Amino acid sequence: MIKRLFRFIFKVLLGLFLFSILMVVIYKFVPVPFTPLMAIRYFENPEEPLEHDWVPIEEISRHLQLAVIASEDQNFEKHSGFDFEAIQEAMEDNRSGRKIRGASTISQQTAKNVFLWPSRTWFRKGLEAYFTFMIEMIWSKERILEVYLNSIEMGKGIYGAQAAAQHWFNKDAGKLGPYEAAAIAAVLPNPREYRANPASNFIQKRKNWIVRQMQNYGKFILE
């Protein structure tokens, strides 16, 4: 009886492992149509419109690509999914009582958005680390950024660069200028509360900071 139970558990875990690899491989090539967060938001607020329009990375402004890297994860092109230097700095800041900060990379945020659900449990964080490792192994950096920019929440009911560009600036994602791109990147820490346009004083200051980071970033070599 016990052997049978262990055999069943092993088969279930093996099946989940193989299914996770299959999904990562599929999403290496296929647009992500929907994310768990989109589903959660829909059931929480069924009257809220859901705007999401996948576009290839070639149709997303390089300004927006650089803006999210400059504001969210400046070591994105260098690290392998985890920025251990940023994690160490965040731990020191949090220990010293300074404002609590996170250290999630774009890769980690992509793994969470596409495969998981919002939660702060250790179990969810463990799954996030697993999927981050998987997408860094199987996808290119360009693909990770493409999925991130097409899946992340950028306003109430607004997901992805194309929907955000249309909603905030009434233009396609490929036509965003540096300040427009910075404005969208500026709302990412709290997209359901912040507005990219018109920008509050806080978002205006953050937008200007992001533009300076973009200017100081150096050559953007991601291909």
Query: pLDDT tens digits, residue range 108-163?
Result: 999 999 999 888 899 999 999 999 999 999 999 999 999 999 999 999 999 999 99
Report pLDDT for 114.
Answer: 96
Report pLDDT for 118.
Answer: 86
Record: fold of 34-216: Penicillin binding protein transpeptidase fold (1.10.3810)
* Ranges in the chain, pLDDT < 50: none
d(CA 153, CA 192): 8
The predicted model scores a pTM of: 0.90
Output the CA angle 143-147-151, nearest 5 degrees. Answer: 175
Helix (H) or strand (E) holding 154: strand 153-155
CB 27 within 8 A of CB 147: yes
Report pLDDT for 41.
Answer: 92
Our measurement of the distance from residue 9's CA atom to the centroid of its chain's CA atoms, rounded to an integer in Å, reads 32
